[in-house]
Amino acid sequence: MTATIIDGRMLAKNIRQDLKEEIIRLKAKGVTPGLAVIIVGHDPASVTYVKAKAKACQEIGIYSDIFWMAEETTEAELLKQINDLNENPNIHGILVQLPLPPHISEQAVINTIAPEKDVDGFHPVNAGKLMIGAEGFIPCTPHGIIKMIQSTGETIAGKHAVVIGRSNIVGKPMATLLLREHATVTICHSRTKDLSKITKQADILVVACGCPGVIGREHVAEGAIVIDVGVNRKPEGQLVGDVRFDEVKEKAAYLTPVPGGVGPMTITMLLYNTVQAAKQAVQQEASYKC
Ligand SMILES: Nc1nc(=O)c2c([nH]1)NC[C@@H]1CN(c3ccc(C(=O)N[C@@H](CCC(=O)O)C(=O)O)cc3)C=[N+]21
């Protein structure tokens, strides 16, 4: 079988077009969705991502403000900046680019973001809501992946989904979302024994371990849907996934490329969450007036 490639850029473009129209309607009501992105230090990959996010905002009419903070910024200074943005009515979404320098506690930072502005979906309130099936912000990468799987027209319900990776930002919310879609879910990680025995049982395989090319033909069943979350930069600058694309393409029914797969969808779901945040702020305002 030769896989159909799931085109993340194309899907992202379509969703962004819908968002653009929604933003026009919001602006007509006097509200411009606003996103604040905070970056501490100047890790080159983080700088690239932050700029990509700001550009994506600009293209669809979201106001964005990047806060460049020095590497030696203290945790207290960063928390103060977040608190100021929590109070700022023009800002509906706040994203603090991760990773942070080692002297700053990521959890303390995430806990400080107002849950209603937590467009990354990392705050414990949103993580908890996802777990119990309540409405809240869904982390962008797994949310985008669900959209990518749905775009194939395949049903998720009843399928065996195997997730490799158990991070709070991808693996765990991914498994929860797949469960919400009624898949049977298995989570694998670095201590998993006989990985290929499990992954070969997957109808849907989501690979999010950050290990370049670990998944090859020996791990994949004929006809599987394979989603590659890896964004690994080689020393020469080339971006590679966690999946050996050329091998897996011969077996899978659907496969996502790197670049041009999950990455563009991650940014798109950030835009989506920011628009949701702005809509909710409008509703809040209206309910105060009543
Ligand atoms: N608070 C926070 N939220 C995040 O969502 C977050 C973060 N921190 N830290 C870093 C990771 C990584 N991430 C990516 C987003 C888009 C691409 C992306 O668009 N990649 C392009 C290629 C870009 C390139 O060439 O470098 C693609 O795959 O086609 C990749 C990675 C978001 N992250």
Facing residues of 243 across strands?
A: 215
What pLDDT, on the 0 to 100 scale, is given for residue 47?
96
Residue nearest to atom 30 of ligand 1 (CA): 263
Cα 123 to Cα 204: distance, rounded to the nearest angstrom: 27
Give the span between the Cα atoms of 52 and 12, in whole angstroms.
Answer: 14
Tell me, using a 6 A CB cutoff, whether residue 263 lines ligand 1: yes
Q: What is the mean pLDDT of residues 29-48?
A: 96
- Give catalytic residues, as residue numbers: 53, 97, 120
Q: What is the pLDDT of residue 285?
A: 81
* Model ipTM value: 0.97
Amino acid 284: pLDDT: 86
Going along the chain from its start, the domains and CATH numbers come out as 31-114 (3.40.50.10860), 140-262 (3.40.50.720)
Atom of ligand 1 nearest to the CA of 8: 29
- The pLDDT of residue 290: 67
CA distance 106 to 250: 40
d(CA 156, CA 150): 8
Which pTM value belongs to this model?
0.97
Rounded to the nearest 10 degrees, the angle between the axes of helix 140-151 and helix 262-289 is 110
Cα 122 to middle of ligand 1, angstroms = 15
137 lines ligand 1 (CB under 6 A): no
DSSP track, 197-266: HHHTT-SEEEE-S--TT-B-GGG--TT-EEEE---EE-TTS-EE-SB-HHHHTTT-SEE--SSSSHHHHH
Best residue for ligand 1 mutational test, from 49, 118, 268 (most atoms within 8 Å of Cβ): 49
Does the annotation list 96 as a binding residue?
Answer: no
Distance 283 CA to ligand 1 centre (A): 31
Q: What spacing in Å lies between the alpha carbon of 88 and ligand 1's midpoint? A: 26
Residue ranges in the chain assigned as alpha helix (H): 8-28, 44-60, 75-87, 106-112, 124-132, 140-151, 171-180, 195-199, 245-248, 262-289
**Closest ligand 1 atom, CA of 95?**
1
Distance 5 CA to ligand 1 centre (A): 20
- Summarised one tens digit per residue, pLDDT across range 153-212 is 999 999 999 999 999 999 999 999 999 999 999 999 999 999 999 999 999 999 999 999
Judge if the beta carbon of residue 81 lies within 6 A of ligand 1: no
Is residue 244 annotated as involved in ligand binding?
Answer: no
